[in-house]
Homo-oligomer: A and B are copies of this chain.
Amino acid sequence: MALSQQRQGKNQQNLFLENELTPRYAVANEVMQLFAPSNSLVSTEANMAVKTDALVDDFVNAIHTNSEIEFNALLETFVDSQVPINPANFDNYLEYLANNVVNHSIHTSSPRFIGHMTSALPCFVRPLAKLMTAMNQNVVKIETAKAFSPYERQALAMMHRLIYNFSNEFYREHVQNSQSTLGILVSGGTAANIIALWCARNKSLGAKNNFPGVEKAGLAAALDYYGYQGAVVIGSELMHYSFEKAADLLGIGTHGLIKIPTNINNQVDLSALRQAIADCQAKNLHIIAIAGVAGTTDSGNIDSLSDIADIAQAANVHFHVDAAWGGPLIFSEQHRQKLIGIERADSVTIDGHKQLYLPMGIGMVFTREPQLASSIEKNASYTMRKNSFDLGKRALEGSRPGMVLFLHAGLHLIGLKGYEFLIDAGIEKTQYMAARIATMPEFELLSQPDINLLLYRYIPESLRELAAKNELTEIDNHQINIFNERLQKTQRQVGRTFISRTTKTITCLEKETSVTALRAVIANPLTTQDDIDAVLNDQIQIALDLSTSDSLEANHTNYV
């Protein structure tokens, strides 16, 4: 489009810094026009909408994944730190935005962007985003979100029912009962995991006799009162890094996050888990929670949730499942059994902005027991009155937008069967990709996909024979690692297609070694088998180019 092919770079920096001061009355006038009711300024807002929509269309329909601009060059366009004095003209700002920001953003909706958990969204989220912002409800309390509070509770109850499937009576009693909490809508999976462990900590170290509980007295006093040497959370070594944040925040320290080794399928090793529990008990450490992972961030594997549920139950410990990624498998008749045991979890995290195909900013935590969240309840006289219906009283966050609009709409406009189709299709395409890779000499599959994440790597030609015989030395692997890192960075820089990278422990010559892995996430409904082929072929092409280039420094991107 015309907008995005114009001025760019350093000269833009001071575009909005004028020396001349607009008179006070003129500023007031301009600002008031921005706030005027929309029907009185059809032309102003309509003009904005038409021009912005053109940008939207361009962006959403892009096939390449990002522009080729080097990151350091991009940084230089954002160094000015002074707030412009006068209000800028919208068209000028939009032009600036198109050239400097939109142009160099990531086309997360591209069918060839299959390296992260961000994908194309259904079109209804775009008009609804405008509606949500226009309504500007604040779901923290009824007085700023009358219908949105029960509306949110309903959508969360629907998700709760998919997980726990309690009786009609149960839901009739709790869905709109302000004393009950079936789920909490938060900004993301990290906040959801933090809240789950917060509830678990507060409940397990709660008020007793004369002791007011950890919530009031603090962690040191609680450990002291209950006679523990310390407190821990136990889970797989592949737990998301939000558990590190939670352990730090909640005062148990990241050393209190006990990471259990995983088996060849990236699932927590159950006997090691049992041993860790016994060790903690022997050391008189309080176990706040045992966490299961339903969809590891690296490779999508799902812990054996039933077994962990048994273990947690035997130890009488809170069982949390981080199903931020894998939770929506619950929609699929075919794949739901991978989550068996989730219905025994005391708390479950699911992200709406991942496999529910909703905009960024929708995390959810569900609790089996509707009273659990009362362990974190806070009140305030000016709002959040004790018996109120206000949703902010049992939450980490305060003021927050009506993001439930997307969740409720998704559950209705996509529906149970629609989500089932999306989940099934992603897994099918991943199996296709795994099968393709298995037949291509250029690549090595690093693990069979459990769901829709896939780890593999490129093997330079000279090492393919050794690789095929599983006879790569540590030095060979190191060389392959360096090559794959360059390959991924170059692919990202060129911007036609995208795959991410991570590390994966494999066994070579009977020795465990950590290797660089290419990581595919196949969730975008627009991604076809042709797109998958195109991504793989792009990597082969880039690898060839890299091999024939003289310099090892061909990789000119500077971010890691």
Contacts and interface: CB of A to CB of B under 8 A. Distances in A.
Interface in A169-196: 171-172, 175-176, 186-191, 194
Interface in A516-560: 519, 525-526, 559-560
Contacts of A96: 412
Given A38-B57, A79-B176, A220-B220, 18 more contacts: A35-B122, A49-B130, A53-B127, A71-B146, A74-B147, A78-B176, A100-B147, A102-B131, A104-B146, A108-B135, A109-B136, A118-B138, A129-B132, A191-B191, A194-B249, A214-B253, A218-B219, A361-B400
A298 to B, nearest CB: 5
Interface in A195-231: 198, 202, 212, 214-223, 230-231
A403 B252 CA distance: 32
Given A45-B126, A380-B241, A219 B34 contact: no
Contact of A123 (B41, B116, B132, B251): B41
Contact of A83 (B74, B87, B379, B411): B411
A28 interface: yes
A110 to B, nearest CB: 10
A175 B145 CA distance: 37
Closest 8 CB pairs of A and B: A251-B251, A218-B253, A129-B133, A360-B401, A219-B251, A382-B502, A52-B127, A34-B122
A360 to B, nearest CB: 4
Contact of A38 (B24, B44, B56, B416): B56
A298 B383 CA distance: 9
Interface in A385-421: 385-389, 396-403, 405, 409, 411-418, 421
A100 B417 CA distance: 24
Nearest to A80: B154
Q: Which of A37, A171, A359, A492 has the most CB of B within 10 A?
A: A37
Contacts of A76: 176
A414 B127 contact: no
A463 interface: no
Given A388-B560, A502-B381, A503-B381, A31 B143 contact: no
A479 interface: no
Interface stretch (A59-67, A275-283, A313-321, A468-476): A59-67
Interface in A109-131: 109, 115-118, 120-131
Contacts of A298: 381-382
Contact of A218 (B75, B135, B230, B502): B230
A134 interface: yes
Contact of A125 (B101, B133, B379): B133
